[in-house]
Amino acid sequence: MNRTPLAWKNLTYDKWRLFVAGCGIAFAVVLMFQQRGFQHALFDSTVEIVRELDCDLVLLRPNRFALSVETRFDRHLLDVAASHEGVAAARPLYIESLAARLRRDQQRAQPIRVLGFHLGDPIFLDRDGDLAPQLAALTAPATALMDRLSRAEYGFDFSSSAQWPQTGELNGRQLAVEGTFRSGRDFAHNGNLLMSAENFATYFRHRGPDPLGQVDLGLVKVAAGHSHEQLRERLQASFGAEVDVLTRQALIEREMAMWDRNTPIGVIFTVGTLMGFVVGVIICYQVLATSITDHLSEFATLKAMGYDNPYFVRLTILQSVYLALLGFGPGLVLSWGLFQFNASYTALPMILTVGRIAFVLVATLAMCILSGLLALRKLFSADPASLF
């Protein structure tokens, strides 16, 4: 005997109401996706540069609690690291942002992050393949590459028809930008420059008699056949409190946790996500409560026939799941489109991962099921005889 799909029929009885309900749930889904998307984008952007580094372990000063904090360690410690068994290479990365000002023509000088490295050291993964062909141009004095996701306020043309080199001034000295690479800006840096270590030393002489004697990050490649964690422990024991030795993934997680716990960003976007959840609960509750009210006499008949409260709980939960899925699909599609727009407009890494989609799907299901259970209170408290 075929069972009547009562939950589905109750939900689709009024097509217009179902459409409005689906739009409401989709709106709540979009709100949650956008809040979570911007939160993850801001966190992801702070570690994008780390993800681009070709290394297994990272050395940095213990008081460098964030990558934007400029504290450094002596270059000779990299030589010490390179002498350890299992270390294939130990390379320096120089970073300057507080003392770096870039401008073009007569525009106001803007702060920018400058990355310096030895051109013979392959410290970047270069996933797009556009960096390696341009390294030869950086051997000339006063040259650099510029992140094409840098803000337009710098005055450089990043269009596909742009002509290179383009000239500007870095800290009052002439600079020829020979081309572009892709990294991405974050809320601490509006753009990035990439140059040779020799040029870096020329522009940032304030770092001391030997501007390259102080290293911001030490990048260690582990030789094949050696454990990353065991080598990290040996290096940490060797250096003690002078430097922290972290795996690249541990540095990424630490950086993201710092911004999440020690800034209002995590709280702000978490509250925004909760607001989307609450909006969805209200909308879904109104839909399901109205549906129950409209069919109260039918439910009374079922109660009089002996159907118990657990049956109505299962019925309402199933109806809530249908409603959640009907609203989640359009909300996901619309959110994907908004993610693409936001990524192109802000240059932030707006990424829809499987885990992030699953989080919002679970939140949507919980939102609708909670609403359904709240809407059942009127039916539970009613006397079947009084509902006819």
Residues 6+ apart with CB under 8 A from 259: 42, 43, 46, 66, 265, 266
Q: Whole-model pTM? A: 0.79
Q: In which order are the strands placed within the sheet that holds 192-196?
A: 110-111, 101-103, 166-170, 173-181, 143-147, 192-196, 113-117, 87-96, 217-222, 57-60, 244-247
pLDDT in tens, the chain (388 residues): 446 576 677 677 777 877 888 888 999 999 999 988 888 888 888 888 888 999 999 999 999 888 888 899 999 999 999 999 999 999 999 999 888 999 998 788 899 999 999 999 888 888 878 888 999 999 999 999 999 888 888 889 988 888 999 999 999 899 999 999 888 777 778 889 999 999 999 999 989 889 999 999 999 999 999 999 999 999 999 999 999 999 999 999 998 888 888 777 778 888 888 888 898 888 888 887 877 777 777 776 777 677 677 777 888 888 888 889 989 999 999 999 999 998 888 777 888 889 999 999 999 999 989 988 888 776 666 555 555 5
Distance CA 360, CA 332 (A): 9
DSSP codes, 31-79: HHHHHHHHHHHHHHHHTHHHHTB--SEEEE-TT--STTS---EETHHHH
Residue 51 amino acid letter = R
Domain limits of the chain?
A: 6-46+264-387, 52-262
Closest CA to 29 of 305, 276, 220: 276
Rounded CA gap, 109 and 111, in Å?
7
Which residue, 352, 236, 251, 270, is CA-closest to 49? 251
Report whether 371 contacts 320 (CB < 8 A).
yes
DSSP 146-167: EETTS-GGG----STT--S-EE
> Do 217 and 60 touch, CB atoms closer than 8 A?
yes
Q: How far is CA 330 from CA 11, 36, 43, in A?
A: 17, 17, 27
SS3 11: helix
The CA distance from 197 to 94, in Å, is 8
Token reading at 122: 């392959």
246-262 exposure pattern, b = at least 16 Cβ within 10 A, e = fewer: bbbeebbeebbebbbee
Beta-bridge partner residues of 168: 175
Cβ neighbours of residue 121 under 8 Å, at least 6 residues apart? 89, 91, 92
Cβ pair 379, 292 in contact under 8 A: yes
Q: Using the structure block, give the residue that is written with the tokens 């030869």.
A: 136
Place of tokens 């707006």: 350
What's the confidence (pLDDT) of residue 1? 42
Residue 146 contacts residue 112 (beta carbons within 8 Å): no
